[in-house]
């Protein structure tokens, strides 16, 4: 189905006469993952997904056509134990013709609203590692990993050995809560820099900011890049680096301990550490995702090596 724009998505509780259509959509969706599952697991998994016991089944409609479904389990009704106060979401499916049309987001929003209205303090869900698109969606909605509630479905169904079929748990807190993120874990950004993971959408469900620490080793440098739609701010802790910026990287500044750097959206830039000690800095930005929206500009990578402007 081809659309120039996405039509409105309406979400409501499923009616009894829609049960067969909902089951067919779930069966088709989950059967498509058969090649990713251990032998003999699919029938038990499907039976579990199709069982609506204890749940409120929601349907998403586009032009009165069934476009998707999800099940909300309020406290104590999820098939496996969840932390106190948690609701659970499962059996999420979107018909192929309506994917990328906001259907899954509408369903998740409806589940969240109903869970909050029922007094839940958090929403949990489980998703398999091969469901990469689903995991990305949940992360963008503020869900974070909660390994303590991971589920070994192979062991649960008595079909596969321990560790052969583990699905990852995700959690979204419904009540505002302060969080502590311990330092240590890190990741490599697309622009070639090493970050220590801090506050982000992925770690704490942040909605509008990201705060990380950055290390540039001696001789290290970023790739020339810009951020299309968000601002960044940097505070230098130790070490000195060159900071090239502007159209064509026409400007060069020195950044050292105690300096603050502001980077507007859309401005090309590139830091270089030509010293013999690491550069340590704190980076804040208005994009909450760990992997920010970076546009690489390889045509500018060699500008600092051509000499001062």
pLDDT digits (tens, 9 = 90+) for 222-266: 999 999 889 999 999 999 999 999 999 999 999 999 999 999 999
Alpha helices in the chain (DSSP H): 19-31, 41-50, 103-117, 132-140, 153-156, 201-204
200 DSSP 8-state letter: S
Confidence (pTM): 0.61
Q: Of 121, 142, 173, at which residue does a domain stop?
A: 173
Q: How many domains does the chain have?
A: 2
Specify if 4 maps to a domain: no
Same domain assignment for residues 197 and 288 = yes
Q: Examine the pLDDT at 1 and tell me if it is beyond 50.
A: no
**Are 199 and 267 members of one domain?**
yes
147 in the same domain as 102: yes
Query: Do residues 267 and 257 lie in contact, with contact meaning Cβ atoms separated by under 8 Å?
Result: no
Same domain, 218 and 83: no
- Structural domain including 167 reads 10-173
| Token couple for 38 | 């251990």
CATH number at residue 236: 2.60.120.10
Q: Give the pairing type, strands 10-13 and 232-238.
A: unpaired
Q: In angstroms, rounded to a whole number, what is the distance separating the alpha carbons of residues 18 and 152?
A: 31
Residues 139 and 28 in one domain: yes
The 10s digit of each residue's pLDDT in 12-33 is 999 999 999 999 999 999 999 9
| Spatial separation of the C-alpha atoms in residues 78 and 287, rounded to whole Å | 34
Maximum separation of any 2 CA atoms in the chain, in Å: 73
Residues 54 and 151 both lie in one domain = yes
Q: pLDDT at residue 302 above 90?
A: yes
Is residue 178 one of the residues assigned to a domain? no
The CATH code of the domain that includes 100 is 3.40.630.30
Q: Is residue 107 helix, strand or coil? A: helix
Q: Is residue 179 part of a domain?
A: no
Which of 173, 200, 224 delimits the end of a domain? 173
Average pLDDT, the chain: 90
pLDDT, greater one: 3 or 182? 182
**DSSP-derived pairing of the beta strands 122-127 and 86-94:** parallel
Mean pLDDT computed over 101-109: 94
Among the listed residues 8, 12, 49, 6, the one whose alpha carbon sits nearest the alpha carbon of residue 29 = 49
Model pLDDT, residue 309: 46
181 found inside a domain:
no
C-beta separation of 93 from 33 below 8 A: no
| Shared domain check, 160 and 248 | no
Q: Could you read off the pLDDT of 111-142 as tens digits, one per residue?
A: 999 999 999 999 999 999 889 999 999 988 88
Residue 99 in any domain: the answer is yes
Q: Note whether 21 and 50 are same-domain residues.
A: yes
Is residue 235 situated within a structural domain?
yes
The per-residue pLDDT for range 160-209, each reduced to its tens digit, is: 788 878 899 999 989 777 878 887 667 777 788 878 878 887 777 787 89
End-to-end Cα spacing for the chain? 53
Judge if 168 and 200 occupy the same domain.
Answer: no
Q: 274 and 240 in one domain?
A: yes
278 and 141 together in one domain: no
Residue 88 — pLDDT band, cuts 50, 70, 90?
very high
DSSP secondary structure code for residue 298 in this structure: G
Q: How far apart are CA 142 and CA 148, in angstroms?
A: 18
> What is the C-alpha to C-alpha distance for residues 150 and 171, in angstroms, rounded to an integer?
11
Q: Are residues 130 and 237 in the same domain?
A: no
């Amino acid at each position: 189905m081809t659309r120039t724009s996405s039509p409105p998505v309406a979400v409501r509780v499923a009616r009894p006469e829609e049960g067969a259509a909902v089951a067919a959509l779930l069966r088709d969706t989950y059967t498509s993952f058969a090649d990713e599952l251990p032998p003999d697991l699919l029938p038990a998994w499907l039976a579990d997904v199709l069982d609506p016991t204890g749940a409120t089944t929601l349907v998403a409609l586009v032009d009165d056509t069934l476009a998707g479904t999800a099940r909300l389990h309020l406290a104590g009704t999820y098939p496996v134990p969840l932390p106190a106060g948690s609701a659970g979401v499962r059996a999420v499916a979107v018909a192929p013709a309506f994917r990328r049309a906001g259907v899954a987001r509408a369903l998740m929003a409806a589940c969240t609203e109903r869970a909050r209205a029922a007094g839940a303090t958090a929403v949990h869900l489980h998703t398999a590692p091969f469901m990469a698109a689903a995991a990305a969606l949940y992360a963008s909605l503020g869900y974070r990993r909660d390994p303590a509630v991971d589920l070994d479905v192979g062991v649960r169904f008595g079909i596969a050995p321990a560790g052969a079929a583990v699905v990852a748990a995700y959690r979204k807190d419904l009540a505002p809560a302060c969080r502590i993120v311990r330092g240590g874990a890190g990741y490599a950004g697309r622009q070639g820099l090493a970050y220590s993971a801090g506050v982000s959408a992925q770690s704490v469900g942040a909605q509008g900011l990201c705060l990380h620490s950055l290390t540039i080793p001696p001789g290290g440098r970023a790739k020339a890049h810009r951020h299309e739609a968000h601002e960044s701010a940097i505070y230098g802790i130790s070490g000195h680096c060159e900071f090239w910026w502007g159209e064509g990287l026409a400007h060069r500044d020195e950044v050292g301990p105690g300096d603050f750097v502001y980077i507007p959206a859309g401005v090309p830039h590139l830091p270089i550490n030509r010293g013999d000690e690491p550069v340590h800095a704190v980076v804040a930005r208005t994009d909450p995702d760990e992997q920010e929206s970076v546009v690489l500009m390889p045509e500018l990578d060699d500008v600092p090596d051509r000499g001062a402007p």
